[in-house]
Structure 1
Amino acid sequence: MSNLDFAVYGMKLQPGDIEGTFEFCQSESVVGVGWGLENKSYNSISEVKATHQDVVDERNAKGKKIERINKDGRLYAPIRYMLKDIEKGDYVWVNEGNKFALCKVQSDWNVTPNLDTEAAEQYSQYGIHHFRDVEWTDISYSLVPGFIRRKFSRRYGTLKEMDDGINAKSKLVMEALHGKDESVSDSSLDRAAIANKIKNTDSEQVFDILGPDETEDIVISYLQSKGWRIIKSSTDSSQAKIECEMRREENGESVLGYLQVKTGSAGVDPTTYKEYAESGEMIFFVESGVDVEDYDDMSEIKSGTIHEYIINNYNYLPNESMVKFDFMLD
C-alpha cells in the first residue's frame, strides 16, 4: 500500500560549482549541501547551529555578509532543510545540467566532521558538509516529469521544498519512477501494453489520472494529427484566455485556430471567446462539457474522442502520462 505522506524537495547538487559533485554523491548514495564546519564532533543540530552563528558573528565583525543564519535567527534554509526539516521517506529530486536523480531519504542528519578523517576529506573535496543517506535512482531525462524539468530550467536555489505540481498523482508517479530499475528508459516502456490498460478504462478515470499540462499536450497532439500547426510564440502565459494559436490549410486557404483546454469540473463561457471566433476557429476541450451549438466558428472536442486518440496513438503520448497510466491502471 502506497503511503503518500512525504514531502518532495529539489536541489542543484553542485556546492561551490565543484565539478564531479553529482557523481560523488551518486557513488556514495548521499545528498548534501556545503557551508563548512569546525573539525570537531557534533552531537546535536543546536551544536551545528552554534558553529554557524560563530562564523556569522566573526564575519559580520569584519564587515562581511554570509548566508548561514537568517535574520529571523534560523539556520539558512538549505542547511535547515538538510539537518532538520527533511524526514526519512521524503524524496529529493537532484539535478545537474541534463542529469537527474530521484532520491529517497534513508537517514537522519549527519555532518562531515563526524566522519573518519579520510572520508571527511573526501566529502569536503566535493563541498559536502551536511548530508543525508539516500536510495539513489538515476532517472533518464526523457522520463523526468515536465513540471520537474521546468522547475530546474529556471533559476533554482541550492535546496528547496517543492510545492507546485506536488499532489497525490505526481507522488504516485515519483514512487513508480524511484522503484524502477535504473536501466529504465524511454524505449523500455511497453507502450502497447499500457495502451491496452487505457482501452479497458473509462474516459472519466483516464482524465482523472492525467494532469492539466498532460491533457493539454495530448489535445494539442490530437489537433496536430488533424493538420493544425502550433504557433510556438503563442503558447506563453501572456495569452491568458487560450492555450495557443494554430494554423492549417483548408481548400488552399490559411485558417487561424485557437485552443482552450479545461480539465476537471472547470467550465468556460463561450460568449467570452467571440472575439477569437470572429477571426478564426475557436476550439474547446472542456472535460465537464461545453455547449457551443449556437455559436458560429466554435467547436468542441469530446473526452471520448481524446480517449480514443490516446488508445490508437500511444506512441505519440508524453512519457509522464505513460508512466502514470502504467502505475495507476491494472
Structure 2
Amino acid sequence: MKEQRRRKVRPKRKSMRWGRILTALVVAIALVGALIIGIRSLLGVASSTDTSNNEIQNLPAVNATASVDLNSIKTSYMLIVGVDSSQPQQADAIYLVAFNMDAKTMQIIGIPSNSKIINRHNDEPQQINTMYTQGGLELTKAVVEDMFHITIPYYAVVDRNSFHSMLDIFGTPSLYVEKSMVHRDDTTGQIDINIHQGYQDLTSETAYGYMRYLDDGTNTLTRTMHQERLLKAIFERERNHVSLGTAFRVWRQWSHMSTNVSTWDGIRLLTKVVDFPKEKVRWYILPGSPETIKGVDYWNVDPIELQQLVGITVGDIPIDGEVTPVIGESPKHDDKNVHDDKNAQDDIQRKNEDGVTTEPGSPTSR
C-alpha cells in the first residue's frame, strides 16, 4: 500500500482537440488555394500583356516617371486620356484630375472631346480630340495646360484594352441606361453597340459601348456625362469597399496603362484618394455651350467660368455653395436613387436628376 502511495500520480493526457486541427487545415487549404488563384491571375495578366493587339503598342512610351509628393499642400494635376482604336488615334475621353493631399480634396473635370481649340498657327478652329492625332500625348497635354493656365506633371493614357482590363479587375457597375443605344460600325456595317434602356448590370462590352456612344452622332457632352456616371459608379463602389484588395487591384491595373506615375506611387495615391471625404470629391464638366461652325459641332469653352473652376481646384473659391451656380459641373443626378430603384418608369420621371435634360449652360453642383 505504501509503495502504491509513493507512486507518482501521472497527469492525464489531454485529448487531442480535433476541431481546432480541422479548422487549421481548412484555413491552410484556403490560403494555398487563394495563393494559386492569385498566381494564375498574375500569369494571365502577363500573358494578356504579351499577346495584346496593336492597341497596346500604340500607347505612348514612358521616358521617365515623375514622383508624386503625397505630403504636398499644393494642388497637383493629372491628365487622363482615353484613346480610340482608329488609325490615327483620337482622344475620345479627356479628364483633368486635380488633387490636394493636404486638404483631401479632388476635382475630376471632364473635357468634351469636341471642345473648340483655336490653333495659334491656324485660323480655323479644331476639336481637342484631334490634338492627339496631330501630336500625341505631348500636344494634348500642352493644349490642356494652355487652356487652364496650369502645369500638369502627371498623365495616364488608356485604350480599349486598358478599359476592359480595368473592368475585369475592379468589376462592372450597375447603371440605369437612359435610352436604347444602337450603333453600326461605319466600315463593316455591323452593330457594335447594342444596349437596351433600363437598369442593368453592365458587362465589360456594354460598359465600353456606353462610354463610346454618341447621341445623334455628335453630342459629345452627353457622352462625357455617360463617361462620368460610369467612372463615378466604379470609384464610389471602391470607396465603399476600400481594403488591401484595393491596393492589389490598382497594382494589377497599372501595367495596362501608359503613365509617368510609378506603380508604387499609383498605389499610394489611389488608396489615399478613395478615402477622401465624399463631399470633398467633386465631378465637373468643362463649362461652355454648343456651337456649330461650317457644319461642324464644337463645345465652345467659356474662359471666365473655366478660370473660376481652376480657382475651385486650388482652393481660392470654396466649393460649398459660395459660387452660384458651381461652374462647370455636369447636370445633377442622384446615383444612389438610380442604383436603388430598378423601376424604369420612376427613373424616367426623374430624368432631370439623372443628367438627361438639364441645359448644358446651367450646370449644378453635386
TM-score bracket relative to the smaller structure: under 0.3
Structure of larger gyration radius: 2
Tell me the TM-score normalised to structure 2 length: 0.20
